[in-house]
Amino acid sequence: MDMQLVAEGFEFPEGPIAMNDGSVILTEIKAGRLTRVHPDGRKETVVETGGGPNGAAIGPDGAIYITNNGGSFTWPTQDGLTIPGPTPDTHKGGYIQRFDLATGELKTLYDSCDGRPFVGPNDLVFDKQGGFWFSDHGASTPDGRRFGALYYAKIDGSHVSRQRDHLIAPNGVGLSPDEKTVYLADTQLGRLWAFDVVEPGVLAPPQGFAPGRSICNLPGVQFLDSLAVEASGKVCVATILNGGITAFDPNGTVEHYPVPDFITTNICFGGPDMKTAWITASSTGKLYKTTWPRPGLKLNFNA
């Protein structure tokens, strides 16, 4: 697959959004900002968010909603590459932010659920009703792993609910084309989970010991990051160590598309036919684009 370098020099890019004007807005987790990348590769800062902006998505009101991990990583370097390290002692938790593209207002929408602070919000996706599912990745501490969770929230600040708890390292989140399934990639397990939606914002109770249905576990040591869904229903998950994008069919079969960065973190789709894929290569700080073999699923909202 031909990979075209669009821009470079980012500080751990993630959360790409393919905008209507042909630009891409992405997060820079290490730098604590959102950046717009124009089709010619020119970059401009959209907003300084602070913390660690991880995922970003356009809501029904045209604003950008941001899952901010609150600075839950340290940033060691290895052979000139940027690597996300353990959670620093200064980390106090993460939050959900809303940035108004028209007015420039940035505000925190949520920082807790039922009185329990978030650890490290990571990724999000909007459903047709205008609410959003988001993952909390948890964090690594000297005493062990702090569990993550899967949440659902409304954009007016009136409702956030914890729909699955005690997950190891929930990362990328997406919806099936019919929105009857929430997909969640677990980084540490190398596993893609599927959860059945019984009504907007509500998951079916888990059956047995597992929190959901396991679509597939990748063999060996492969970590999963953020994701996007194809129009066909395949789930394209950025893959770490085996750097690239792994496309999971809901039947459990997979295919891998290599990217020249062993920490490939995210993918989004756009273009007239939804076959242009933008991919964040984070340890090298680059944004690539390529023609995907199948069209991506058009998201519910854009700006």
Give the annotated binding-site residues for a divalent metal cation: 171, 225
Annotated binding site for substrate: 122
Please say whether the beta carbons of 37 and 43 come within 8 A.
yes
Which residues does 100 contact at the CB level (< 8 Å), separation at least 6?
Answer: 63, 106
Residue 142: half-sphere exposure toward Cβ, Cα within 13 Å: 3
Side chain identity at 271, as an amino acid letter?
A: G
Please say whether the beta carbons of 89 and 146 come within 8 A.
no
Q: What gap in Å lies between CA 186 and CA 274, rounded to an integer? A: 26
Which residues does 143 contact at the CB level (< 8 Å), separation at least 6?
Answer: none
Q: What gap in Å lies between CA 12 and CA 28, rounded to an integer? A: 5
Q: What gap in Å lies between CA 185 and CA 212, rounded to an integer? A: 12
Annotated binding site: 122, 171, 225
Query: Residue 2 catalytic?
Result: no
Q: What gap in Å lies between CA 136 and CA 271, rounded to an integer? A: 30
Q: What gap in Å lies between CA 137 and CA 68, rounded to an integer? A: 11
Q: 115-144 burial, b if ≥16 CB within 10 A, otherwise e?
A: eeebbbbbbbbbbeeebbbbbbbbbbeeee
Q: How many residues would you count in the chain?
A: 303
Q: What gap in Å lies between CA 37 and CA 39, rounded to an integer? A: 7
Of 123, 136, 186, 225, the catalytic one is 225
The residues annotated with a catalytic role in the active site are 225
